[in-house]
Amino acid sequence: MSSLLDVPLTRRMHRLPVVRLVHGRAAQRAWSWDLRDQLTREWWPQGITWAGERLLVSWYSRRGVGSRVSVVDLVARRYAHVPLLTPDGEPLRVHAGGLAWDDGWLYVAATARGFWALHVDDLDLAVEEVAQQPSRDPGPTWRARTLHRPALPGSDQPFRWSFLDLAPAGWSSSVETTSAPAVEGVAQQPSRNPGATQLLAGEYGRGGKSTRLARLEISDGQPSGDLELLGEGPAGMQGVTRYADGLVVSTSAGPWTRGDVHMPAGRSTRGADELLVESGIQRLAEQGHGATPAPATGPESRRSRRAAPVGVEDLTRDALGRLWTVSEHPGRRAIVQLKG
């Protein structure tokens, strides 16, 4: 963790006035990148996670240069990009659609290839010479350790690791599903390995592609169990994070329309009343478009329309339980704290 705090933060971040037509009806605070990163069409922000006092945001290159993680200090309003490397030292060319952090381990979604595990001990703070690496920014680099590609037992369709987060403490590592009309439910069971980290993962899907939510036990950066299906989420999912006794997911709606937030309803979500009332809610079963509530979010999941920013991506929560996201489109990119 000390390595993240030692990264030289060479770029300036700017506090933005919240514009709800851009940042979403649930937006509470927003920050912008510097002008180069705000307008570039080569690099696109995707994943987000908190790592202690630092916020991490992943980017991928549309020109195939690789992927990077921004180390962000929102208090100082400073940040720096850290290129991600393969174990052999080559650029890590993945979409990096989601991030999850756990006790020094950083997990980076790699879509059909699975996910990469990186450790903070492999963050190299030595400043590289631009002449030796002309395609790379001078500064720290971060080398990945291992690529994991767990599959769902009995499924011949590869899981697309589009976004990641950690399950809340105490969640089960095994589930029992029961069927109800258009709704699946989950009964929590005792965990087989209470000390393991539970990694949440989901698939971005539209046009009939699967939108599965799953979880995986991780111990010391290695999978320690089977990938377990939680159910199907709504189309266009971009992020997932824990909320109360369920999950909250974000869905996108293109480059000019604000995204939605889907979250569990009920007595355990009273803290989200402000978010739901302000944004307008609708049950998933009433939305059409083939949306089906996932068992993780619960049968009474609600859709908070236009609560998320234009181009909403991954979701995460900080140690105080506050909800965060990042948006991707040039000129409208921001880190946004949502009410919840």
pLDDT tens, position by position, 209-262: 999 999 999 999 999 988 999 999 999 999 999 876 678 999 999 999 999 999
Separation of alpha carbons 260 and 47, rounded Å: 17
Angle at 151 between CA 235 and CA 288, to 5 degrees: 15
Query: Tell me, what's the pLDDT at 214?
Result: 95
Mean predicted confidence (pLDDT) in 87-112: 97
In the chain, the percentage of residues whose pLDDT exceeds 70 is 76
Class of domain 2-338: mainly beta
Whether residue 266 is predicted with pLDDT greater than 60 in this model: the reply is no
CA 124 from centre of chain = 24
In the chain, the percentage of residues whose pLDDT exceeds 90 is 66
Mean predicted confidence (pLDDT) in 264-279: 38
Query: Tell me, what's the pLDDT at 281?
Result: 36
Mean pLDDT of the chain: 82
- Min mean pLDDT across 95-99, 134-138, 299-303 is at 134-138
Q: Where are the domains of the chain?
A: 2-338
Residues 265-269: contacts with CB within 8 Å, 24+ apart? Answer: 265/298, 265/300, 265/301, 265/302, 266/298, 266/300, 268/244, 269/243, 269/244
- Min mean pLDDT across 23-27, 193-197, 213-217 is at 193-197
- Min mean pLDDT across 45-49, 81-85, 124-128, 190-194 is at 190-194
Which residues are CB-contacts of 181 (< 8 A; sequence separation ≥ 6)? none
Question: What are the distances in angstroms from CA 290 to CA 153, 159, 252, 253?
Answer: 25, 20, 15, 15
Question: φ, ψ for residue 271 (rounded to 5)?
Answer: -65, -15
Mean predicted confidence (pLDDT) in 267-277: 33
Whether residue 277 is predicted with pLDDT greater than 80 in this model: the reply is no
Query: Tell me, what's the pLDDT at 181?
Result: 25
- For every residue of 194-240, DSSP letters joined together read TTSEEEEEE----TT---EEEEEEEETTEE-S--EEEEE--TTEEEE
Reported pTM = 0.84
Whether residue 132 is predicted with pLDDT greater than 90 in this model: the reply is no
Residue pLDDT, tens place only, 33-64:
999 999 999 999 999 999 999 999 999 999 99
Residue pLDDT, tens place only, 283-328:
433 333 333 344 445 556 688 999 999 999 999 999 998 999 999 9
136 by DSSP, 3-state: which?
A: coil
Residue pLDDT, tens place only, 138-191:
689 999 999 999 999 988 889 999 999 998 766 543 333 332 222 233 333 444
- For every residue of 279-321, DSSP letters joined together read H-EEEGGGS-TT----TTT-TT-EEEEEEEEETEEEEEE-TT-
Whether residue 130 is predicted with pLDDT greater than 70 in this model: the reply is no
For residues 281 and 236, the model is more confident at 236
Question: What are the distances in angstroms from CA 201 to CA 9, 51, 133, 152, 276?
Answer: 30, 18, 34, 12, 25
